[in-house]
Amino acid sequence: MSELTVPTPSPRLRQILERLAKDPAPLIEDVLSQLKASIPDYQEAPAAVARDVRDSVAFMHGIWYDALLSGELPSQSTIDAIDAAGRRRVHQGVPLDSLLRAFRLGTKRIWAALIQAAGGDVELHHELLFEVSPYVFDHFDLMAQTIGRAYLDEQLQRARWRDALTHEICSILFNRPDNEEGFRRNADALGLDSSAIHCALCLRLARPDATPAELEGEAQRLMVSVARILRLPDDRMLHTIHRGHVLLWLPLARGETVVTGEQRLARDVSGVASNCKEVQMIGVGLPALGARGWRVSADQALKALEKLGRQGGAGQVARYSDIALNDVVSGVDNVTRYFDALIERLAQEPQLLPTLEAYFERRQHRKATAAALDIHPNTLNHRLERIENLLGASLDDIGWLAKLHTALRLHHAAS
């Protein structure tokens, strides 16, 4: 910055500069309207960001005229203020290319205002072209370099900070899930809604031999793809690498029930499985609340994925809701033994298990079941009565129907 030299304006040019500096509103409004018309990120900016952009445009406008009128380069405090503006844009979600494009556009409008103010005065045009314009490039190049470096530095620090918070949250989820206070504190710092119900997804990648660094790189790219497909900001999703898979936690919409939320996510993520070649299969847990709930949902998504890995093909989505009953029942030894005993009792007569399976497959329609088995309806009735007598059951009882259906599902899962 010490190599820059501020040109000394002629009396006529000084008058123009003082007039423009005294009434900056028209130029500021011109720059803002150009930004909104040309750059989508500024067009769609929230009100708070729009106010900050307006203040920054006015500030940059003032720096330019102050330098030319005082003959002094921008002070360190001014450079620090420009630095701070660049850092704020990171947290406001303004991309660097949009920021620098806005800076170039603002520079062009400020220079155009000077040319226009000079009118047809040839001497003024000569002064602007040969004396002022070299400083224009140096001045705004300095501003752009300052704001660009600040942006990239803040982006890097933010990434490291987010990585540290993500690591801490995942450590809580998998090692200390009862630490709700720590979970809420870190989630809120990341901008995640810790009070919202979330659902875990477990993504099996197509490259099982990928290194941890390669997995993390793939996970970052997947976050962008998933966010686009699900129409959800990627900063509202928590992700980590767990047991060689990518785990994601996604929020349900406010007011969305657990059932409708799980159904919607299962439907939406099918687009991820079919459109992202990096993803082989996806497991979907049940929506849950709080640290322990997020952990349980993740375990369920992984369990559903492992189940699909044995039975399904590439590009499929496995929902824990489809195996929830089996999983709960099979987790209690004496309950499992009870259902096994029901199957063993029926297996003593070979025709009974196939009959019962066909009966459930046809939704307890006896005529359709007899036709499927190619037996007389009276034969079917006799077999169903035999099942009832052997087990002391009643096939008119919804409770017994549920038990027998569960027993068959567990039997198939184990075989």
- pLDDT category, 307, cuts 50, 70, 90? confident
Mean residue pLDDT across the chain: 88
Q: Which domains does the chain have, with CATH numbers?
A: 11-158 (1.10.490), 195-322 (3.30.70), 328-414 (1.10.10.2840)
CA–CA dist 141, 66 (Å, integer):
17
pLDDT tens digits for 283-295? 999 999 999 999 9
Q: How many CB atoms lie within 10 A of CB 61?
A: 21
Return the pLDDT at 314.
Answer: 60
pLDDT tens digits for 321-348? 888 877 777 777 787 888 888 899 999 9
pLDDT tens digits for 97-147? 999 999 899 999 999 999 999 998 999 999 999 999 989 888 888 899 999
What is the separation of C-alpha 26 from the centre of its chain, rounded to a whole number of angstroms?
40
Write the burial class of residue 283 (CB in 10 Å: 0-12 exposed, 13-18 middle, 19+ buried).
buried
Give the CA distances from residue 156 to residues 69, 96, 149, in Å, rounded to whole numbers and listed in that order: 37, 13, 11
**Percent of the chain beyond pLDDT 90?**
53
70/237: higher pLDDT: 70
Statement: residue 3 has pLDDT above 70: no
The tokens 């497991």 sit on which residue? 283
Statement: residue 260 has pLDDT above 70: yes
The tokens 């990434």 sit on which residue? 159
Return the pLDDT at 1.
Answer: 46
Statement: residue 218 has pLDDT above 90: no
- pLDDT category, 268, cuts 50, 70, 90? confident
DSSP alpha helix (H) spans, 39-132: 40-43, 47-70, 76-91, 96-118, 122-127
CA–CA dist 301, 406 (Å, integer):
21
Mean pLDDT of 24-47: 90
**Using N-to-C axis directions, what is the helix angle for 76-91 and 96-118, rounded to 10°?**
130
For 343, the 3-state DSSP assignment is helix
Cβ pair 328, 406 in contact under 8 A = no
CA–CA dist 272, 276 (Å, integer):
6
Return the pLDDT at 224.
Answer: 79
CA–CA dist 373, 370 (Å, integer):
5
Cβ pair 227, 233 in contact under 8 A = yes
pLDDT tens digits for 227-251? 888 788 777 788 898 888 889 999 9
Identify the DSSP state of 288.
Answer: B
Q: How many CB atoms lie within 10 A of CB 194?
A: 20
Statement: residue 413 has pLDDT above 90: no
* Contact residues for 186 (Cβ-Cβ < 8 A; gap 6+): 165, 168, 169, 172
Q: Give the H or E element holding residue 198.
A: strand 198-205
End-to-end CA distance of the chain: 77
pLDDT tens digits for 150-207? 999 999 998 899 889 999 999 999 999 999 999 999 998 888 889 899 999 998 887 7
Return the pLDDT at 31.
Answer: 93
Which tokens sit at 353? 């298990």
Identify the DSSP state of 363.
Answer: T
What is the separation of C-alpha 283 from the centre of its chain, rounded to a whole number of angstroms?
17
pLDDT tens digits for 347-383? 999 999 999 999 999 999 999 999 999 999 999 999 9
374/411: higher pLDDT: 374
Q: Give the H or E element holding residue 174.
A: helix 133-175
CA–CA dist 227, 268 (Å, integer):
11
Cβ pair 218, 207 in contact under 8 A = yes
Return the pLDDT at 227.
Answer: 81
Lowest mean pLDDT among 50-64, 210-224, 398-412: 210-224
Cβ pair 370, 376 in contact under 8 A = yes
Which tokens sit at 349? 């007569």
Return the pLDDT at 306.
Answer: 87
**Half-sphere exposure of residue 100, counting CA atoms within 13 Å on the CB side?**
14
